[in-house]
Chain A
Amino acid sequence: MVTKEYRTVKEIIGPLMLIEGVEGITYGELTDIRLDDGTMRRGRVLEVHKDKAVVQVFEGTSGLAPQGVTVKFLGKGVELGVSGDILGRVFDGFGRPIDDGPPIIPEKWLNINGNPMNPYSRDYPNEFIQTGISTIDLLNPLVRGQKLPFFSGSGLPHSRMAAQVARQARVLKTGEKFAVIFATMGITFEEAEFFINDFRRTGALERAVLFINLADDPAIERIAVPRMALTVAEFLAYEKDMHVLVILTDLTNYCEALREISAARKEVPGRRGYPGYLYTDLSTIYERAGRIKGKMGSITQLPVLTMPEDDKTHPIPDLTGYITEGQIILSRSLHAQGIYPPVDVLPSLSRLKDKGIGVGKTREDHANVMNQLYAAYARGKNAKELAVVLGESALSEIDLLYVKFADAFEDRFIRQGEDENRSIEDSLRIGWELLGLLPKSELKRVRPEFIEKYYPENK
């Protein structure tokens, strides 16, 4: 196809450019934008109407003048060159290496938008991933092919948790190839440095690919970042048989970039000014997690988002929760008590938990212990609330035990070190120690044979 160049930019509005007199342009086409000083930017066609094209400029439009720009339409969508050598590399938000390494020699060029997976070809996620964090492994187990977001708030240690998961995550079978893809959208330089250094320090970088878009990088580039990351993930998972964990942080910044474009296009806004298609757009990211029948690899997603004002009903966490298979919610009050990782156990949920645990996957008593810990902690928290209103003397003896349990649970089970990699057996052992604080007759959700076998007797 002939490439076409135009110098007919008529309007520049926010991140968008309107170019007139174009011919043979198609929707979604990638463009090279050359400034007269020789610098290059990239764009994508968002709308084409007769001889007019609206192009979204990934690097932003600041410094552009309609007269000083040449736009070249490349006749193809936004593509990324991928190769097996991509592991261990660091890229910017547009897939250009920023680690002083050589350029990637692509085995393949892939459209970053991907194609929707045929629901019929999906394989059900049911293999347990051990993250080494008790509140995830035991209470909200993650399975291969799942998408499980962290709902966090500003100032909470979601980055440290994400890095810990990236370091520790493994499957219980041996001999499987594992890779981590880490994509940032609008995080600060310090956070990004923390991740890169953490990955270097622990050697995790060798099996990782990083896409870094910082807070001062162009906002519009954030639209492309998760799609770049997932394109690499699909390549590694389904063509190189790897189990890929994709960590995306912070989706809130992604949604804001989307809102910016929507506003510039004067679209009818949905809730809080976000475009009406936010749900659809997010689903084209999240739904790229999964497994395919007959393929070795898998894609597991851990998106991180910060809830504005810790509000779970804000459109970003709300729509995310409707697409993802559960959520891990971080608690400001646990964090204030100095507990790391501050996982708010009660509202957190892994929808696929029942599929990945039990005999042959983790341990026979896993489901029972999970339900019992959950119920006991809920009761302990309730009792504590009651004690605040009515005074501790109003609590029955058994409720006092539950209060003790809840405190111990937060201190010994939820709390763990940043480098503490607990195996699922360790987590179960701690769980049983805590259940030992309660009399056996209270353990109604555990089968008698498991109580017989695991209840700590030596106290």
Chain B
Amino acid sequence: MSTNNKGEVVKVSGPLVVARGLAGARMYEMVRVGEAKLFGEIIEIRGDEYSIQVYEETEGIGPGQPVFRTGEALSVELGPGLIRSIYDGVQRPLDKIAAQYGEYIVRGAESPSLDRSMIWKFEPVAKIGDHVTAGDILGTVRETKLVVHKILVPNGVEGTVKKISSVEGNVDTVIAVIETDKGPRELTMVQRWPVRQPRPVAKKLPPLEPLTTGQRVLDMFFPMTKGGTACVPGPFGSGKTVVQHQLAKWANANIVVYVGCGERGNEMTDVLMEFPELKDPESGEPLMERTVLIANTSNMPVAAREASVFTGITIAEYFRDMGYSVALMADSTSRWAEAMREMSGRLEEMPGEEGYPAYLGTRIASFYERSGNVICMGSDKRNGTLSLIGAVSPPGGDFSEPVVQATLRVVKVFWGLDDKLAFARHFPAINWLTSYSLYQEVVDKYANDHYNPKWSEVRRRAMAILQREAELEELVRLVGMDALPADDRLLMQAAKMIREDFLHQNAFDELDTYTSMVKQFHLLSTILHYYDEVRPALQKGVPLSKLLTLPVLEEISKAKLIPENKLEQFDELRNKVSEQVKALLA
């Protein structure tokens, strides 16, 4: 078979370019298009015609211009220097691009993904004479205060360590030589990986541990796990992005990859300005020290938006392979799906629902399936997790549309945002009646063992009260609150307290923005304690109005602001409830 390194453009239609004469080129191979050398990727081959999606504006490209092959699929560079970076959808470092090319992203802009001027200190773990296989740890580099970057034996390499030593240099520095079947192989701190191909693992396991987020409604009622999948759908203005930002800030993962996919430029600026200021609740170090940002805003080329999600997840998998817990947030997967729809339309494919390609569901599923709790490659059988949380922006807030539905078929946690709650300024506006988590049992078990044996009971009772409130509310709307029986009024009171004093959480308040699991339990059980105390008192004849206006209620409403290091105040609070009820009985 003859192969060509250079072909020529025959057709241009927006981000789609068709070229001829690229014999030998494979699906998803990267090419450079036109004299401007725009980045593109082959997405369809028909005979000698190659359809290319181009990641940059194609103005000025026309038939007859050259197309150059690169021989490689769209790949990312993996190595020290990823953390604290901000990349576009095809892993171009936006800070370097800005320094080199100015405030606007010009076409053909290029800069190495990993900064070659950064000097790293490599400390070997493997020793000369060790037999190593793919995934084994060769050594470590301290990348940031929070992250020790483990340099792994790349996939496909196996042999005996011939040379390895402590060395300082940039990522291209040779750190080890491995004697393989095919002769000696020099390894550096950097490796490349094609983004559309999942990185291999030794074994996949079911998720077992909660991914705590410090967000009460999520951790208590709809918990997420390390290695799990979740989606956050909601109409505009319901606070999707705030929820995603909160997760990126407070999730107890070692590494966070945040993909801003087709969203607002100013929001990325917000993240860029805020994250270096915010401190990780466990280590006290800036959150940026564990974060990788991918920003492909809505006005940046649509094809690169399609790629951004894969770029993000490949970087996330790489850190998972080191044995870390990694969380990836994608905001928003709808924009990603729309990018697919746009390319599909240009390819003149038969559309499925609402113009989306028929393979929409498969693509979404294969993205979420890259999550998991895994035994990593490598002989030490270390454990790594990758959790995926995708925001979905359904048109008109209609959850029956294809992207939400395709997502719900694969994710295990559904955090449904509700604009009615948002209008009532109840944040996070997660609807507790429609949301669900299929990890409930796993997390209940873990929480009973680790936080409090009564965790699952408290959670179940609180949820039952909220469900009952929803039923009673129908009635109240018809006949008014006063017509309810007294014990139902108490239940309504308890439900209101759960909503206002527990579920409602202010992301912009320094104290309220994050709540530890133990404090969440205290807070909710204090509210239930009140309910448990007043019900028998009512039976014994204490007037309802007294119980509804117990002075301690004021304090319970402020209990969410009790500092994490003074949790004993909850015991005092519960005692106070008992005393005040007792006083009424006397």
Contact = CB atoms under 8 A, between A and B. Distances in A.
Interface of A: 23-29, 46-51, 77, 111, 113-125, 145-146, 238, 267-271, 275-277, 279-280, 283-284, 286-288, 290, 292-293, 295, 312-315, 318-319, 321-323, 325-327, 346-347, 349, 351-352, 354, 371, 374-375, 378, 390, 394
Contacts of B398: 313
Given A28-B58, A118-B104, A323-B298, 18 more contacts: A26-B60, A77-B60, A115-B107, A118-B94, A119-B268, A120-B295, A121-B98, A122-B265, A123-B269, A268-B355, A277-B342, A280-B302, A287-B264, A290-B265, A313-B397, A318-B236, A318-B395, A325-B264
A299 to B, nearest CB: 12
B63 A313 contact: no
B237 A122 contact: no
Interface stretch (B5-13, B192-200, B312-320, B512-520): B5-13
Interface string B316-348: 000000000000000000010011011011001
A121 B103 contact: yes
B64 A46 contact: no
A290 B262 CA distance: 16
B61 A26 contact: yes
Contacts of A292: 103
Nearest to A269: B355
A394 B395 CA distance: 39
B380 interface: no
Interface residues of B, number: 66
A46 B298 CA distance: 21
28 contacts: A25-B62, A25-B63, A26-B60, A27-B59, A27-B60, A28-B60, A48-B12, A48-B13, A113-B57, A116-B105, A117-B103, A118-B94, A120-B295, A124-B273, A146-B266, A268-B355, A270-B354, A280-B302, A280-B339, A284-B299, A287-B299, A288-B299, A312-B396, A313-B398, A318-B395, A319-B395, A322-B393, A352-B266
Nearest to A371: B425
A149 B260 CA distance: 22
A323 B262 CA distance: 9
A24 B65 CA distance: 9
Chain B CB count within 10 A is highest, among A28, A269, A321, A322, for A322
B294 to A, nearest CB: 10
B351 A268 contact: yes
Nearest to A284: B299
Interface centre among A313, A327, A346 (most CB of B within 10 A): A313
A276 B355 contact: yes
B471 to A, nearest CB: 19
A269 B356 CA distance: 10
B332 to A, nearest CB: 8
A374 B425 contact: yes
A24 B8 CA distance: 12
Contacts of A349: 237
Contact of A313 (B97, B335, B396, B508): B396
A390 B480 contact: yes
Contacts of B11: 47-50
Interface of B: 10-14, 18, 57-65, 86, 94-95, 97-98, 102-107, 236-237, 260, 262, 264-266, 268-270, 272-273, 295, 297-302, 335, 338-339, 341-342, 344-345, 348, 351, 354-355, 393, 395-398, 423-425, 480, 508
Contacts of B342: 276-277, 280
Contacts of B262: 279-280, 283
A121 B345 CA distance: 33
B341 A120 contact: no
A118 B264 contact: no
B359 to A, nearest CB: 15
Nearest to B346: A267
Contact of A117 (B95, B107, B265, B351): B265
Given A28-B58, A287-B298, A347-B423, A118 B395 contact: no
Contacts of B14: 27, 47, 277
A450 to B, nearest CB: 17
A394 B57 CA distance: 63
B266 A125 contact: yes
B508 A354 contact: yes
Contacts of B260: 119
Nearest to A322: B236
Contacts of B338: 276-277, 279-280
A283 B345 contact: no
B104 A50 contact: no
A118 B59 contact: no
Contact of A119 (B272, B302, B425): B272
B86 A46 contact: no
Contact of A346 (B348, B395, B397, B423): B423
A394 B355 CA distance: 52
Nearest to B301: A116
Contacts of B480: 390, 394
Nearest to A294: B103
Given A26-B59, A26-B62, A48-B12, A120 B237 contact: no
Nearest to A394: B480
B288 to A, nearest CB: 13
Nearest to B95: A120
A125 B265 CA distance: 11
A50 B266 contact: no
A136 to B, nearest CB: 17
Which A-B residue pairs are the 5 nearest by beta carbons? A313-B396, A28-B59, A26-B62, A283-B298, A287-B299
Contact of B264 (A23, A48, A49, A323): A323
Contacts of A50: 10-11, 63
A123 to B, nearest CB: 7
A121 B106 CA distance: 13
A354 B11 CA distance: 48
A47 B346 CA distance: 11
B310 to A, nearest CB: 19
